[in-house]
C-alpha cells in the first residue's frame, strides 16, 4: 500500500497541482514554493498596504480542529473532479478513504476493529496533499482580503482602509460558513487575531508606532497575546546600542 500511495502522491503533484484551477495562494505541494514564500507573500501584502495613509491590517491565524480527520470522501471526490482529476483516480482515492479498518492497542489490550469512512489516515504521505486539495475552493472573494494557505495552516489578512472592516468581517463569516459546509471545525481557542496599526490616532496620544491587538472580528476568536507592556517598535528601544 505505501508504494501505491507514493505513486498517487507523485501523480497528483505532477498533474492537478500544475493546473490553473488551483488556488495561487496555496503554497504547499507546489513546484518552487515553500513556507518561506507564504510568509514573504503575506508580509508583502501587509507592508505594501501600510505604506498608504489611513490604513491598518487585521490578521486572523486560523486553526482547524483535527483537520485531516474531517475529510468527507464524497466531497473530496467532487472537488477532485472539478480539478480535472480523472474519474478512476477519484474513485481509487474514495475507496481508499472509505471503510478503513482501525483498532487501538494499549499494552496487551487491543480494541475491536471499527470501520471509518471520514478523514485521512494520520502519517500517510497522501493525507496532507488531499487536505490541501479539499480546501482548494476556500478562497477570498474580495481583493482587500487575502487568504493564504500552507496545507492546513490558514491565514486571513484584512487590508483595512479608512476604518472600513466590512469586507474583512464578511470574508471571516464566509470562512466560518464554508467550514460548516465542508465538515471542518474552527478551533476557537487556538484561532487568534492580530492587528497591525501604525496610524497616529490609534496610538492613544503617543507619537510613535506600536503593534497592538484589537477586539476580534468575531466574538469566539481570541486576540493574539500582545507583548508585555506593548513593546514599541522604535529603534532606540529595540536596539539600545549601535556597534560601529
Q: How many whole angstroms separate alpha carbon 175 and alpha carbon 109?
A: 42
Q: Whole-model pTM?
A: 0.78
C-alpha cell at 29: 505541494
- What is the per-residue DSSP string for 141-169? SSTTEEEEEETTEEEEEEEEETTB-HHHH
pLDDT for res 226 = 52
Q: How many whole angstroms separate alpha carbon 182 and alpha carbon 75?
A: 8
pLDDT for res 236 = 52
Q: How many whole angstroms separate alpha carbon 66 and alpha carbon 27?
A: 20
Q: What is the pLDDT of residues 131-144, one digit of tens each?
A: 999 999 999 999 99
Contact 209, 238 (CB under 8 A): no
Q: How many whole angstroms separate alpha carbon 36 and alpha carbon 103?
A: 38
Q: Kindly report the number of other CB atoms within 10 A of residue 37's CB atom.
A: 14
Beta strands in 22-143 (DSSP E): 55-62, 100-102, 105-106, 109-110, 114-116
What is the biggest distance separating any 2 CA atoms in the chain, rounded to whole angstroms?
A: 70
CA distances from 183 to 32, 143, 178, 186, 213 (A): 31, 26, 9, 10, 30
| DSSP type of residue 200 | G
Extract the residue ranges of the chain whose pLDDT is less than 70: 16-19, 201-244
Q: Kindly report the number of other CB atoms within 10 A of residue 104's CB atom.
A: 10
Mean pLDDT of the chain: 82
- What is the per-residue DSSP string for 91-121? HHHHHHHSSEEE--EETTEEPPPEEE-SS--
Amino acid at each position: 500500500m505505501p508504494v501505491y500511495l507514493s505513486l498517487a502522491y507523485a501523480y497528483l503533484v505532477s498533474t492537478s497541482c500544475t493546473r490553473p484551477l488551483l488556488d495561487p495562494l496555496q503554497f504547499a505541494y507546489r513546484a518552487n514554493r515553500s513556507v518561506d514564500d507564504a510568509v514573504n507573500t503575506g508580509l508583502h501584502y501587509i507592508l505594501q498596504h501600510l505604506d498608504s495613509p489611513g490604513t491598518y491590517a487585521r490578521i486572523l491565524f486560523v486553526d482547524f480542529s483535527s483537520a485531516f480527520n474531517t475529510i468527507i470522501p464524497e466531497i473530496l471526490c467532487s472537488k477532485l473532479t472539478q480539478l480535472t482529476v480523472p474519474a478512476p483516480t477519484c474513485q481509487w482515492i474514495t475507496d481508499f478513504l472509505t471503510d478503513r479498518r482501525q483498532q487501538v492497542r494499549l499494552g496487551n489490550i487491543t480494541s475491536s476493529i471499527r470501520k471509518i469512512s471520514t478523514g485521512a489516515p494520520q502519517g500517510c504521505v497522501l493525507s496532507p496533499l488531499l487536505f490541501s486539495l479539499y480546501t482548494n475552493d476556500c478562497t477570498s472573494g474580495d481583493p482587500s482580503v487575502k487568504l493564504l494557505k500552507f496545507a492546513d495552516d490558514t491565514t486571513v489578512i484584512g487590508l483595512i482602509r479608512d476604518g472600513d472592516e466590512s469586507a474583512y468581517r464578511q470574508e471571516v463569516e464566509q470562512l466560518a460558513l464554508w467550514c460548516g459546509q465542508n465538515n471542518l471545525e474552527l478551533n476557537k481557542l487556538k484561532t487568534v487575531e492580530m492587528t497591525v496599526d501604525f496610524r497616529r490616532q490609534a496610538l492613544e496620544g503617543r507619537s510613535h508606532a506600536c503593534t497592538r491587538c484589537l477586539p476580534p472580528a468575531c466574538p469566539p476568536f481570541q486576540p493574539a497575546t500582545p507583548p508585555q507592556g506593548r513593546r514599541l517598535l522604535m529603534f532606540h528601544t529595540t536596539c539600545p546600542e549601535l556597534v560601529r
